[in-house]
Amino acid sequence: MASVEMIEEEAAAGRVKEVYYRIKESLGIDFVPNMYKTMARNPSYLEASWNKVSAIMGQEHQLDDLTKAIIALTVSTMNGCGYCIEVYTSAVAKYGLDDDGRTEVAAVIDLFNGLNKFNTGLGVEMDEKPWYGCGGSG
């Protein structure tokens, strides 16, 4: 349960109502997600947040939608945000990542969480020569 009252669609007016419309239109859904209804307590924050989300997640640049959703799921998992984990678990499935793929994402998160803690905890210094990740095919 949110610790502040959300601004429901029926109560939205002015800028909030306009941003709600843009959110639904852009996402192709018939409701405003709770995250945005909570942000609407501060209309400037809602608008700035939606503008940032749509500029990064809503447009094709070098990363496709699946890659962006995997990154969002990874960060959400690392931060322990249940709301975002649920949203982006659904998103990666929508973009074609099956259970095996999601398990692979979780395994990579686990691997690098451990490697990061190992290297940080022991103060491992950077190598003099560059190298390109932990194996793989390239």
Q: In whole angstroms, give the CA distance from residue 109 to residue 4.
A: 32
Same domain, residue pair 53 and 1: yes
Residues 88 and 110 placed together within one structural domain of the fold: yes
Provide the CATH number for the domain around residue 41.
1.20.1290.10
Q: What is the pLDDT of residues 70-107, one digit of tens each?
A: 999 999 999 999 999 999 999 999 999 999 999 999 99
User: 31 Cβ partners below 8 Å, 6+ apart?
Assistant: 9, 24
pLDDT band for 137, please (50, 70, 90 cuts): low
Q: Is residue 35 part of a domain?
A: yes
What is the number of domains present in the chain? 2
Boundary-marking domain end, from 11, 29, 59: 59
Q: How far apart are CA 79 and CA 102, in angstroms?
A: 17
pLDDT digits (tens, 9 = 90+) for 25-47: 999 999 999 999 999 999 999 99
> Among 41, 59, 77, which residue terminates a domain?
59
Taking CA atoms, 89 is separated from 35, 56, 72, 114, in Å, by 16, 19, 9, 22
d(CA 124, CA 118): 8
pLDDT grade for 61, boundaries at 50, 70 and 90 = confident
Q: The domain containing residue 4 runs over which residues? A: 1-59
Q: Which two tokens stand for residue 33?
A: 């997600």
Q: Which amino acid is at 99?
A: D
